[in-house]
Amino acid sequence: MARLFGTDGVRGLANKTLTAPLAMKLGAAAATVLTSGSNPSGRRPLAIVGRDPRVSGEMLAAALSAGMASQGVDVLRVGVLPTPAVAFLTDDYGADMGVMISASHNPMPDNGIKFFAAGGTKLDDAVEKEIEHALHNLQETGPTGTGVGRVIEEAPDGLDRYLFHLSRAVGAKLDGIRVVVDCANGAASQAAPMAYAAAGADVVAIHNKPNSYNINDGCGSTHIDVLRAAVVEHGADLGLAHDGDADRCLAVDSEGNLIDGDQIMAILAVSMKDEGLLHHNTLVATVMSNLGLKLAMQRNGITLRTTKVGDRYVLADLNAGGYSLGGEQSGHVVIPDHATTGDGTLTGLYLMSRMAQTGKSLAELASVMKVLPQTLINVPVSNKAVIMDSPEVKAAIARAEEKLGETGRVLLRPSGTEELFRVMVEAADAESARKIAGELAAVVASV
């Protein structure tokens, strides 16, 4: 049986592969697994449900809520909020589970469902498999009468709770820093500009008017060029770009140069080490991180650990080792002392806080790391499962590795959310990286 869960929850084309009936069953199945044995005092289990602004979120929120209520779970809907806000509120409200409805950086027609356990933590593979098993073995009827769960619409203080949490996490004042924030017409359209302004920054917000259809449409962390131009136009010190659910953050400096997740992690790792906050002097990243990050950490006496791609794998390693900083090149940055998942707004606050504390520009801070030329090609495929077993692909990888020697590396991996295979090549020079990546991508596309 094919897995329902991908790298980050359940995702698909809304109303086609991710339907309301499926969402209702998924809600019921998750409720039976995540609230089993909870509340020995007799209090009814509670679930928090949030979403990003895309139009299908309304339908899926209703279906999920119905499924959970059918299993005797009360549902508190917190409306349009970032994924990290829903994770935080799951813990802050003392809920037994949380649900975020979002397809992150994917186009508007897609949507997704991410579950959190009590405390706002992401689920591991074993729990996801339990939910899939429960979905296929659901009883047709659940509790009746007073046993049916209630659905409470739109908690009035969810955003305020989250903003207060952010204000306590980062105490530095950002007076004098002008920032352009691209909200991707997504879940951070209110929260991010408010959080930055509350910390004292001069905020210019763009793409902060979601209309249910324009999320990620030519904006946000996957379309940096608009932000580059806006930073230069407004004479800003930096720009910050979030994705649709605001669990990631990318930046640009005052001249519009990209500062990616690896560079952000390098800045924060050195900052936290200087302040004695980098537990075990260790940073956790994924195999997709640039080799330049490892070299920068070595120069600064910081150990770099790597995991599989996906912020939940970073989180698992952070929690297992008691580390205090991790993330991905794509801009998911996790700071476990303040968040149980990647939080783009928190990342932006930390980054500007370092600028305020040191008086240095973002470009100066980012110079701690030299980015080695890296080419990433997303190759559409019909069957991700067969790519790495292909003799042609294996031979192409061997040829590429022989060409690169010790001056670069090759990484091929399937997307966890789309029918794509990602081909990544690092080399000593950009032309070599492009050429070798192109050759590999052509082989992958032919399989």
Q: Could you tell me the CATH number of the domain that includes residue 191?
A: 3.40.120.10
The DSSP bridge pattern shows strands 409-414 and 420-426 to be antiparallel
> Residue 421 domain-assigned?
yes
Residues 97 and 194 in one domain: no
Residues 324 and 415 in one domain: no
User: pLDDT value at position 310?
Assistant: 81
Q: How far apart are CA 4 and CA 10, in angstroms?
A: 6
Residues 296 and 414 in one domain: no
pTM for the full model? 0.89
Residues 183 and 274 in one domain: yes
Q: What average pLDDT does range 42-64 have in this prediction?
A: 95
> Residue 189 domain-assigned?
yes
Structure-token pair, residue 277? 């906050």
> Residue 3 domain-assigned?
no
Q: How far apart are CA 54 and CA 188, in angstroms?
A: 13
Residues 70 and 148 in one domain: yes
Residues 359 and 222 in one domain: yes
In the predicted structure, residue 150 carries a pLDDT above the cut 60: yes
> Residue 286 domain-assigned?
yes
In the predicted structure, residue 320 carries a pLDDT above the cut 70: yes
Strand partners, 259: 251
Residues 146 and 164 in one domain: no
Q: What average pLDDT does range 19-32 have in this prediction?
A: 97
> Residue 243 domain-assigned?
yes
Task: Write out the residue range of the structural domain in which residue 392 sits.
Answer: 374-446
In the predicted structure, residue 369 carries a pLDDT above the cut 90: yes
User: pLDDT value at position 40?
Assistant: 57
Lowest mean pLDDT among 253-257, 288-292, 415-419: 415-419
Q: What torsion do the CA atoms of 40, 42, 43, 44 make, to the nearest 10 degrees?
A: 100
> Residue 288 domain-assigned?
yes
Question: Which residues fall within 8 angstroms of residue 276, CB to CB, at 6 or more apart?
Answer: none
Residues 64 and 115 in one domain: yes
| Residue ranges in 76-206 assigned as alpha helix (H) | 83-92, 125-135, 158-169, 191-198
User: pLDDT value at position 141?
Assistant: 84
In the predicted structure, residue 202 carries a pLDDT above the cut 70: yes
* Rounded alpha-carbon distances, angstroms, from residue 137 to 26, 133, 357: 11, 6, 55
> Binning pLDDT at 50, 70 and 90, where does residue 260 land?
very high
Residues 105 and 216 in one domain: no
**R_g of the chain computed on alpha carbons:** 22
Q: What torsion do the CA atoms of 399, 404, 408, 412 make, to the nearest 10 degrees?
A: -10
Helix H or strand E segment including 360: none
In the predicted structure, residue 39 carries a pLDDT above the cut 80: no
Q: What average pLDDT does range 312-334 have in this prediction?
A: 95
Q: How far apart are CA 106 and CA 133, in angstroms?
A: 27
User: Please, are residues 120 and 334 in contact by the beta-carbon 8 Å criterion?
Assistant: no
**What total number of domains does the chain contain?**
3
User: pLDDT value at position 38?
Assistant: 58
Q: How confident is the model over 90-142, as pLDDT tens digits?
A: 999 999 999 999 999 999 999 999 999 999 999 988 999 999 999 999 988 88
> Residue 4 domain-assigned?
no
Higher confidence at residue 39 or residue 108?
Answer: 108
User: pLDDT value at position 2?
Assistant: 65
User: Please, are residues 334 and 261 in contact by the beta-carbon 8 Å criterion?
Assistant: no
Catalytic site residues? 104
Q: What average pLDDT does range 219-226 have in this prediction?
A: 96
Residues 122 and 174 in one domain: no
Q: Which residues are annotated as a binding site for Mg(2+)?
A: 104, 243, 245, 247
* Rounded alpha-carbon distances, angstroms, from residue 170 to 91, 327, 371, 391, 430: 19, 18, 28, 51, 38
> Residue 2 domain-assigned?
no
Q: What average pLDDT does range 292-314 have in this prediction?
A: 92
Q: How far apart are CA 97 and CA 35, in angstroms?
A: 7
Q: Which CATH number fits the domain that encloses residue 416?
A: 3.30.310.50
Residues 164 and 151 in one domain: no
Q: Which residues are annotated as a binding site?
A: 104, 243, 245, 247
Residues 339 and 207 in one domain: yes
Given 128, 156, 184, the domain boundary residue is 156
Lowest mean pLDDT among 178-182, 309-313, 358-362, 369-373: 309-313
